[in-house]
Amino acid sequence: MFPLAPFGLKGVLWYQGESDTHRPEGYAQRLTALAASWRKAFDQSLPMIVVQLPPFDPSPRTPPGHWAQIREAQRRFVADDPAAGLVVQIDQDSATDLHPAKKAVVAERAAERALSVAYGRGYTQSGAEVPRIAKAGRTLILDYGIGDRLTASDHRAVRGFELCTDQCVAVPGRLTGRRRIELTIPGPAAPRYLRYAWSDVPRADLRAEHGGPSGPFTICLHGDAMGAGVSCR
């Protein structure tokens, strides 16, 4: 970085995280500190485009779920930073390959995010949004605030959602509108949090009709943090 500063830059594309999967705790804070140090060095609100980790099965080198935790940390960083954007690539077929094959797709998505964040053109979503949530009896209604229609590979059935108390249970979603999904709460216990595409190699198929896949997330379902896009573990 320092040989370049203080030359002017329009933004930074950040593709990293694999080497931090052995210590996912605090990754969001480390990424925040990195962005702050670069912005200070270049003396500008440098846009940060973060490429989220792809699917990958690291076992037995890394405990299960660490890749999912890094993806959530990347999402939270972007959600909290108005000058950041997220590139989602959980639709890569890369469970056994650390270097995903669909590089052109990732490059196109990164270019779209850069045009939006750095130049104010094209899509306005950050890529890190989570749905607004309402509860009606034993049903959770998820409303995605995007301008596109949601689709799934099996028409209206959506896979990839889990509702969690002490344990997490897979719950099928139902597309009931252009941007709305409904989930039925199983059992009598009130779930503490909702998560989507939450594993090292997620099986999830929700996507925007004219865009990329919906990104992974975990969000609270109780108290003041209801649907606030924060982890409540």
Q: What percentage of the chain exceeds 70 in pLDDT?
A: 94
* Average pLDDT rounded to a whole number, residues 76-99: 91
222 exposed, middle or buried (CB, 10 Å; 0-12, 13-18, 19+)? exposed
Per-residue pLDDT, 5: 80
Per-residue pLDDT, 80: 93
Per-residue pLDDT, 101: 87
Yes or no: say if 194 and 181 are a contact pair by the CB < 8 Å rule: no
Q: Using 50, 70 and 90 to split pLDDT, how confident is the model at 109?
A: very high
174 exposed, middle or buried (CB, 10 Å; 0-12, 13-18, 19+)? middle
Q: Specify the pTM.
A: 0.91
C-alpha gyration radius of the chain: 18
Torsion of CA 148, 112, 93, 104, to 10 degrees: 140
Tell me the DSSP string of the chain.
-TTTTTS--S-EEE---GGGTT--TTHHHHHHHHHHHHHHHHTS---EEEE-------TTSS-TTHHHHHHHHHHHHHHT-TTEEEE--TT---TT-SS-S-HHHHHHHHHHHHHHHHH--S----S----EEEEETTEEEEE---SS-EE-TBTTEE--EEEESSSEEE--EEE-SSSEEEEEPPSSSPPSEEEES-SSS-----EETTS-BPPPEEEE-SGGGTTSS----
Residues 6+ apart with CB under 8 A from 74: 17, 27, 28, 31, 50, 52, 53, 86
* Average pLDDT rounded to a whole number, residues 107-120: 93
CB atoms near residue 97 (< 10 Å): 13
**Mean pLDDT, the chain, as a whole number?**
89
Q: Say yes or no to pLDDT of 182 above 90.
A: yes
Q: Using 50, 70 and 90 to split pLDDT, how confident is the model at 100?
A: confident
Q: Using 50, 70 and 90 to split pLDDT, how confident is the model at 201?
A: very high
> Distances from the Cα of 162 to the Cαs of 4, 21, 71, in angstroms?
45, 22, 16
Which of 14-18, 208-212, 222-226 is predicted with the least confidence, judged by mean pLDDT? Answer: 222-226
Instruction: Give me the sign of the Cα torsion angle 221, 226, 230, 233.
Output: negative
